[in-house]
A and B are shown apart, each in its own frame.
Chain A
């Protein structure tokens, strides 16, 4: 069965600092991987997705993620954090016909 593990339930950074949110996956077949963001009292919004076309994936709002097969990782990064980035972030893996989510990482951005 496919699954993802997010390392760190809470990450705090200063405005302008690098954002790094960690995700490791487990899959017996080449995975499709996703990062979603959830703002308070809202649903999940797609940030980016990996479809095997390129290992470095660029998403919305300046976020990007790199697929590393050797490390079974798909970490999310942003060079410079903005206050508006404060939210919950979920890594997900897509199976044949379902999608499984990690437990989430809450990002706090300090002024």
Chain B
């Protein structure tokens, strides 16, 4: 079974430029997550999709970040304009279950991440 695919793996941009990251979850997984992992910290949830609908985007900086999952499969996370503090690894994860705690402690399956450096 193919895992979660992310691209690009590495991206270097200057502040105020824009960048987009792509994620393709495991086939059949309804729920997709974008996490931001700043160096030395644990992953922080940015946005969660259930199929093509947004479940939780309360921690997404909406003035500069946007994300979509138009057909309920792959997803794109965009940052425009980027700031220095956006330098981080952006992790995509998927899960077959929406209700993690109800359906027997569902786990998340992570991609390898996209490392962003903003200069």
Binding site for A on B (CB under 8 A): 4, 31, 33, 40-45, 48, 55-56, 91, 93, 98-102, 104-108, 110-113, 115
Q: Are A49 and B107 in contact (CB under 8 A)?
A: yes
How many positions in chain A have a CB within 8 Å of any CB in the partner chain? Answer: 26
Q: Are B113 and A97 in contact (CB under 8 A)?
A: no
Q: Are B42 and A94 in contact (CB under 8 A)?
A: no
- Chain A residues lying within 8 Å of B44, measured Cβ to Cβ, are 101
A43 at the interface (CB under 8 A from B): yes
- Chain B residues lying within 8 Å of A102, measured Cβ to Cβ, are 42
A56 at the interface (CB under 8 A from B): no
The residue that A101 contacts in the complex, of B42, B98, B100, with Cβ under 8 A, is B42
Which of chain B's residues has its CB closest to A4's CB?
B42
Which of chain B's residues has its CB closest to A45's CB?
B110
Q: Are B110 and A100 in contact (CB under 8 A)?
A: no
